[in-house]
Amino acid sequence: MGYLPDYRYVVLITGCSSGIGFATSLLLAENGVRVFAGLRQREKIGMLDEEAAKRGIGHLLTPVELNVDSHADIERVVRLVIEREEKAWERGAEPILINNAGFAIIGALEDLSMEAYERQFRTNFFGPVALVKAIVPTMRQLRRGKIIQLSSAFGRLAIPVVSAYASSKFALEGFSESLRYELLRYNIYVSLVEPGPVLSNFVDNLEYAQNHESSLYREQYRKYQDLAEISALVAQSPAEIAHLIWKIIQEKTPRLRYPVGITNLAENLKRVLPETFIDELSRLF
């Protein structure tokens, strides 16, 4: 692979088999960004390779097998990016990490095992932490870099039967806020993108508690499913989120939080409504 001397950014992004990750990896490459696109499933690599070749950006986009639950995978891929792009760092390219991979387990506390909570955190929280830990030393030495974390509306507010998913995103929010203030002195910026519903196969891949149809909380599961269907009517496209991520990458001093769509509305309502009113509202779910 030849080296293009006009790289401004080198991006490692996770969760690129579909949705936001797929759209973002292609959009960035189309804008001249060097992209390493992580995919958990090896069989999906050919699909992304084919799409990149069709768009004439195969030289900029490299799909890599990356399971964020695996520390060995994380170390291998981060080392690959750092070593392969050594000339890019010398010429001033900025390293960017986009933690996008994630999934949701839907279940009431009494319906979920401890293993389910641990699995949810392993992917949604500890995976991003491990990736950041692996790449930050290089960013610090270069004294430049951006870390973009894909959070969620459920990282800012929660409703019944999403405690596993929401708590993993709340944890990501707290980690990212503290990390931002640790790293600012090295010109490394941490940002959170907080989308509401997005048109992707994320909802199709929701993992429900096995007994959700017979659970004592089955009515709350049904209301959650109804809400998910209604939310699809106001869902944003992955391309919209991809364009926001590209905008953040280009900003000299990006903000900490970027609430998107319904997340922004929900945050504003939560800020002005009394807690007792929100408690009563929660009974609708």
Q: How far apart are CA 277 and CA 153, in angstroms?
A: 19
User: Which helix H or strand E contains 106, and what residues bound it?
Assistant: strand 105-106
Nearest to 194 by CA among 135, 152, 222: 152
Q: How far apart are CA 76 and CA 130, in angstroms?
A: 12
Residue with token string 């000299």: 252
Beta bridge partners of residue 61, listed in sequence order: 35
Tokens of residue 143, six digits: 């004294």
Told to judge if 165 belongs to the known catalytic residues of this protein, a careful annotator would answer yes
- Selected catalytic residue, list 165, 217, 224, 258: 165
Beta bridge partners of residue 145, listed in sequence order: 188
Torsion of CA 256, 258, 263, 269, to 10 degrees: 60
User: Which helix H or strand E contains 13, and what residues bound it?
Assistant: strand 9-13
3-state secondary structure of 95: strand
Q: How far apart are CA 100 and CA 170, in angstroms?
A: 15
Q: How far apart are CA 141 and CA 138, in angstroms?
A: 5
What is the Cα gyration radius of the chain?
Answer: 19
Catalytic (active-site) positions: 165
